[in-house]
Chains A and B, each alone.
Chain A
Amino acid sequence: MRILGVRPARLSLHAFLILTSLVWLVPVVWALYTALRPFADTAKHGYVSFGGSYDVKNFTDAWSQADMMHFFLNTFVITVPALVITLFFASMAAFVIARFRWRYNVALLVLFTAGNLLPQQAIITPLFRIYTTIKVPNWMSDSGELYDSTLGLILIHVAFQTGFCVFVMSNYMKTIPGEISEAAVVDGASVFRQYWQLTLPLCRPVLAALATLEFTWIYNDFYWATALISTGDKRPITAALANLQGEFFVNNNLVAAGSLLVAVPTLIVFFALQRHFIAGLTLGSSKG
């Protein structure tokens, strides 16, 4: 028996998926609804109520009160270089591991992959010491050290995230036929040209997938930012959101608006790159 040409099993599946989707959207929709209402209205009618006025004043207030423009800039100065260097480093290391047979391949893979899986708290004390010991010129860091500097934050993101990208990219590169670079070797192309002009262009799907994930992870980082940056002014936006929480009083409407604003860039990146997302995420194929 079919209803409107759809099998009953499909209908109940869609019913289940729609219901689950609605539940999934509750926290975000609730934050949005709260953010659109003035504090005075929710204080008077309660949060679960209709009526009063709806406007974007909480968003503009959160924007100016938390000085968001400033912290968004901080975040981008950290995230963009960290993302680019991570993908560059990881693709080079993955190229060597996937394309050449040498003794250290497995050791390298373990070094990178396991490094990404360690809990951050397990390394923070010595890392902090290293960061306060290493002096860098003032034009690179106004604190004169890696600690409390944008440079230091970029470096730890690169060191930490390269592992995951090497793992995914080396898996992906192994699926590219070897004949392509063999032809190039015959033509006398250097290994760097084989990497840059032949292999990398074929890696676009996996680069897009990793860019989405890594942008999200680096952008959303809270731990390194609070542990390695002491000057509040230099922190990225995730760590600066705390500025919206008053000491004695929490304006939930304002916090909701701030949280949503912070999420906008990750949503944009996700929607821009999502077409490649699943296709590029090769975690180990069961084929051949």
Chain B
Amino acid sequence: MADKRAKLRKLTGRDKAVLTAMAGIPALLTTALIWVPALGSIVLSFSKWNGIGGFDQIQWIGGKNYYNITHGYPPFGPAWHHNLIWFAVFVLVPVPLGLYLATQLDKRIAASRIYQNIFFLPVVLSLALVGFMVELIYAPEQGLINNLTGHTKPGNLVDWIGNPHLNLFAVLTLAVWRQTGYVMILWLAGLKAVDPALREAAALDGANEWQTFRRVVLPALRPVTIVVTVITVVETLRAFDIVYVVNRGKNGLELLSTLITDNIVGEAIRVGFGSALASILLVVSVLVIVPYLIVTFRKED
């Protein structure tokens, strides 16, 4: 295939300068406000600093923060565990359910647009907003669920938010409610890009619906599958707003993101320690993102 893109050599000096500015200014902003801080987090993770004084107050303590996180920081284990549960639930529910809804809505069925809008509706609500809705649904005496199931009297109250064994799943139910519509729309965008001729060919060969899906549609959805996977991981690691609004990530709702916030804002500021937690989060994300980008961009050049 001939490359449609123009070669730079043909351009005038002025055009080259304009192009450099067009790509360079946005790149500079992203570098300064995203990548420099990301590196900064890693550097600070080897330090002890209260964050208030100047940089000369920083003590360099090597890998001690990492040792303390794994050996002397009780919430770290539960937080990891909760993030893993979050990920497992996001993989097991929104991904297949979103794909199923998308494949059904991609057929020419009546009212497809209305269904799409209903499933997408939660996505336009912020997770912070959903956090406020948690109260309406799960509050012990006033919430919808306990009222419907008759658990509002003292003695048989189910404390969905206060009970550390229940609250993660209570919150996750609403997070899934929101994530499913998001994933569905990504699958739907992918399905629109699948060449209809492929399906017609499969139908002519006598393949049934499931065979066509399994052998033709799913392989063609590979680029979107990768996007969905990455977004699932990223949304898991970023999960924060909903638990923060519910109870600031305490008592069964600890997540890596809330632990970082605990350490860098609040009463006892431990910048180095918080940065070490942040660096762990950073490394996990980069381990997922970079292979994805390599797969995505390699086929282009």
Contact = CB atoms under 8 A, between A and B. Distances in A.
Given A158-B29, A286-B195, A256 B109 contact: no
A220 B125 contact: yes
Nearest to A158: B29
Nearest to A222: B128
Contact of B34 (A24, A93, A123): A123
Given A110-B297, A115-B34, A121-B257, A263 B177 contact: no
Contacts of B293: 109-110, 113-114
Contacts of B245: 222, 242
Interface in B28-46: 29-41, 44
B147 A20 contact: no
Interface stretch (A42-50, A52-60, A136-144): A42-50
A34 B25 CA distance: 49
Contacts of B207: none
A126 B23 contact: no
B281 A266 contact: no
Contact of A185 (B6, B19, B33, B118): B6
A268 to B, nearest CB: 10
A42 B142 contact: yes
B128 A220 contact: yes
A216 B4 CA distance: 34
The majority secondary structure among interface residues of chain A is helix
B183 interface: no
B8 A102 contact: yes
Interface residues of B, number: 113
B162 to A, nearest CB: 14
Contact of B7 (A90, A101, A120, A160): A101
A270 B37 contact: no
Interface in A118-135: 118-130
B188 to A, nearest CB: 6
B279 interface: yes
12 contacts: A17-B105, A24-B181, A93-B27, A106-B297, A106-B301, A108-B23, A119-B234, A121-B281, A124-B278, A182-B6, A191-B22, A222-B244
Interface of B: 3-8, 10-11, 14-15, 18-19, 22-23, 25-27, 29-41, 44, 51, 101, 104-105, 109-111, 115, 117-130, 132-133, 135-137, 139, 142-144, 147-148, 152, 174, 177, 181, 185-186, 188-190, 192-195, 220-224, 227, 230, 234, 237-238, 240-241, 244-245, 256-257, 260-261, 264-265, 271, 274-275, 278-279, 281-282, 285-286, 289-290, 293, 296-297, 300-301
